[in-house]
Chain A
Amino acid sequence: MAMTGVLRPGHAQIRVLDIDESIAWYTDVMGLVPMGRDAQGRAYFKTRQERDHHSIVLRQADRAGLDFFGFKVRDAQTLQALEAKLIAYGVKTERIAAGDMPGTGERVRFRIPTGHHIELYADKQHVGNATGCVNPEVDVIDGPGICPIRMDHCLIYGGDIDGSRAIFEDVLGFNLVERVKLEDGVTDLATWLTCSAKAHDIAMVRHGEDDKLHHVSFQLASWEQVLRAADIMSRNRVSIDIGPTRHGITTGTTIYFFDPSGNRLETFCGGYDHYPDMEPITWTFDEVGAGIFYHDRKLNPAFLEVVT
């Protein structure tokens, strides 16, 4: 069962066009906690409720997009065993030294068939959350900023989503939760996978170009918090893609919006629990509009095709 192997998404390294503008935005608008810079100039952030050192890493670059997405595994033995499984499966792996990211142990990095770099790691410094582990108070979200609960999942775009899904399922123990079929009724247009009991920890859409980011998502506690996030976005002139609305797929409530470099982010609430014995949910191509946005019930080309 996956909770003894890959535990959860742990970090996303996002490329930004102007690091100072982005640090201010992720701090003031997103309400993330700044966790310092490293010698390369990368900026680190966590949410108030996250206990590990960081979940979002920003790197200044000349183009937007996702450098890599990392998952935390149970312990060092698990990391060793999963790396051996990847190699046996024919996946080339690379070890990134402990300390390359502050507070973070050795990472195993590999490239999946859709072109994305995925990482596994076992150790990241426990810095604690806003309320602590002994007799914690409730974390009253009093701003400034959106203050999400956690960095929750990502959606990636690329060509061979079957090959990438196979690595997550066959090697890393992920389970298929939902899928959208193309018109032929056979080929997957998109899949949602979990390593835990969430509705998704990573999702992927079939696309003409590899190594593209559709969005990195942050979890909120309630629909009310989703509306509050939308108010904060509009007040700060954030570029909103769509929402607040609801997905048919996963049933989550959502807003899609863009960071100052055009990377799409999501704040969402809801969804359901998925256990490994549950049959995956299938959406047929003629109903995919309602699957993606349950109230609109139609395809939105900009939402589907704008990526970084």
Chain B
Amino acid sequence: MAAYTITIENTGESYRCADHRSVLEGMEALGRKGIPVGCRGGGCGVCKVQITQGSYARRVMSRAHVSAAEEASGCVLSCRVKPTSDLRLRVVGPLTKTVCGPRADAPTPTRNPQPTP
């Protein structure tokens, strides 16, 4: 079982993540912080990161939160990627919504058209 060093550029923090764990799961398992944690299933979009260096394997993730172009450029949901080398990343997916509506400092939520049921 291989493990790799994940570096969160926003804070400069790093942690070791086994290759069978997602980048997000690896962080949580060590009680570390830095990437917001949501559903852990590629659906809610809050753990979005930009991978700036390194290689990884990825699973399907919600197009409501990550476009095909973003995914190709390394902008991914960290719950859906497993490291295959040391990684450097930048957090881009804060919790953008509050119970009382969008926060003043939050980016506009993505409003992709919903498919017909």
- Please report A residues at the B interface, Cβ cutoff 8 Å: 13, 17-18, 59, 61-65, 67-68, 117, 182, 189, 205-209, 211, 239, 241, 258-264, 301-302, 304-308
Contacts and interface: CB of A to CB of B under 8 A. Distances in A.
A285 to B, nearest CB: 10
Contacts of B117: 13, 59, 67-68, 117
A262 B41 contact: yes
Contact of B62 (A182, A305, A306, A308): A308
Given A13-B117, A211-B114, A262-B40, A63 B62 contact: yes
A182 B101 CA distance: 12
Nearest to B24: A239
A189 B98 CA distance: 11
Contact of A305 (B42, B43, B98, B111): B98
Contact of A302 (B64, B79, B95): B95
Interface of B: 36-44, 46, 59-65, 79, 95, 97-102, 109, 111-112, 114-115, 117
Nearest to B99: A304
Contacts of A307: 44
Given A189-B99, A209-B97, A261 B111 contact: no
13 contacts: A62-B115, A63-B64, A206-B101, A207-B101, A208-B97, A209-B111, A239-B40, A259-B41, A261-B42, A262-B38, A263-B39, A263-B41, A263-B43
B19 to A, nearest CB: 16
Which of B37, B99, B117 has the most chain A CB atoms closer than 10 A to its own CB?
A: B99
Nearest to A212: B97
Classify the interface of chain A: helix, strand, loop or mixed. Answer: loop
Given A61-B115, A64-B42, A305 B97 contact: yes
A64 B62 contact: yes
A64 B42 CA distance: 8
Contact of B39 (A63, A211, A308): A308
A67 B59 CA distance: 22
A63 B112 contact: yes
A44 B95 CA distance: 33
Contacts of B98: 208, 301, 304-305
A208 B101 contact: yes
A263 B114 CA distance: 16
B100 A306 contact: no
A44 to B, nearest CB: 15
Contacts of A59: 117
Given A207-B99, A302-B38, 18 more contacts: A18-B60, A59-B117, A62-B64, A63-B65, A64-B39, A64-B62, A64-B64, A65-B114, A182-B100, A207-B97, A258-B40, A261-B42, A302-B37, A302-B95, A304-B98, A304-B99, A305-B98, A308-B43
Contacts of A207: 97, 99, 101
Nearest to A62: B63
A306 B38 CA distance: 6
Given A13-B117, A18-B60, A262-B39, A306 B44 contact: yes
